[in-house]
Every structure is written in C-alpha cells, then in structure tokens.
Amino acid sequence: MTRKTAVTAACAGLMATLLFGVGPIGVVAGLLTAAAGAVFLHRREPQQVRQDRERMAADLPFAADLMTACLIAGRPVSAATEIAGRTVGGPLGRRLGWVSSRLRLGADPETTWAALAGDPAMGGLCRAMGRAAQSGAPVADVLTRLADDAREAARAGSVASARQVGVKAVAPLGLCFLPAFVLLGIIPVVVGLASTIVLP
C-alpha cells in the first residue's frame, strides 16, 4: 500500500468519524470507512498500468501484421519479433524486444512466449506463438487470425464505449430538465387546481 493510499483512506475514515459523531458509532464508522477505502484504493489499477495495457491492445494488430509480413518475406521468428518490437515501440515493443533477444540467444520459444502469457494484452499472442512453436504450425496464419481478432475486439470495445456515452448523458440531462419540467409544468397546474378548490 502506498503512502498516498493510506493518507486518503485515513482522511475518509476521519470524515466518517466526524460525520457520525465522535462517539463509539462514529469511531466504528470511521474505522470501517478507512478499511474499505484502503482496500478499494489498493485494488484499483494504477493509471500507468491501464494506459500501457490500452496502448498494447491498440498496437497489437499492427505488430502482428508486421510480424506476418516479415515471416512471409522469409525472416525467422526472432527477427520478425525484433523488427515489430522496434517499429511499434512502447510497452508492447519492449516486451517483443525482450522475446526477440531471448530467441536470438537460443532460448526455448515455447518457454519464452509462455513467460509473458499472463499479460492481459499480450496473452493471446504469447499463447498462439507458444502453440505454433510447439506444434510447428505456420506462424503467419496464426498471426493473421490474431490481428483480425484484436481488431474485432477493439471495434466491439469502441461500440460498447459509444453506447455507454448515451447512458451516461441521461443523468445530467435529467438533472437539468426534470426540475424545469416540475417548476414550469406541474407546479402551475397544481396551484391552479388548488386555487379553484380552496377559493370559492
């Protein structure tokens, strides 16, 4: 747990204690709030990790296509991985460069790719390359399929994000238009009806 997380959780606990009073209920509420805040903030993914994962997911189709082109041109897997890593750059490029250097040094391809298979953004590529190295299947076909799947996943993610924008836009519109509707539409009708009922 970082210092920033601990300070934020402690401040939330202090605010809860002051909100509920300094008595036993306030102290218990403060402790529970601080503990829940610490757990929530600790589990939250750091912004840099999220940005790296998103960039890797965006760069993956291009890297797979580039590796496919290199393999079709007759380059070995280590050279294709190195070229793709240098061209793409960023977090995906660093990981591909690491794989390329290991492959050039003679490491087992299946083990090398398996070392990065737990990465959410690179997992599909690593598992596919590991299976291809184990079975001897043509790697270019696997990479082409992987690039197409990554593009389709990105497209589906974009559509889902676009749909969420419409849902998220309803709340501010409701908060703006609902009070105006009540003040201009309902209250005059209620006042008009009340005045005819109360006044003879």
137-170 pLDDT, tens per residue? 788 888 888 899 989 988 998 898 888 888 788 8
Please tell me the predicted confidence (pLDDT) of residue 1: 61
Q: Give me the DSSP letters along 132-181.
A: HHHHT--HHHHHHHHHHHHHHHHHHHHHHHHHHHHHHHHHHHHHHHHHHH
The pair of three-digit structure tokens given for residue 190, joined into one six-digit string: 């209620």
User: Has this prediction a pTM greater than 0.85?
Assistant: no
pLDDT in tens, 52-92: 888 888 899 999 999 999 999 989 888 999 999 999 999 99
Contact of 68 with 97, CB cutoff 8 Å: no
Cα(145)–Cα(134) distance, rounded to whole angstroms? 18
**What average pLDDT score do residues 163-180 get?**
81
Please tell me the predicted confidence (pLDDT) of residue 200: 60
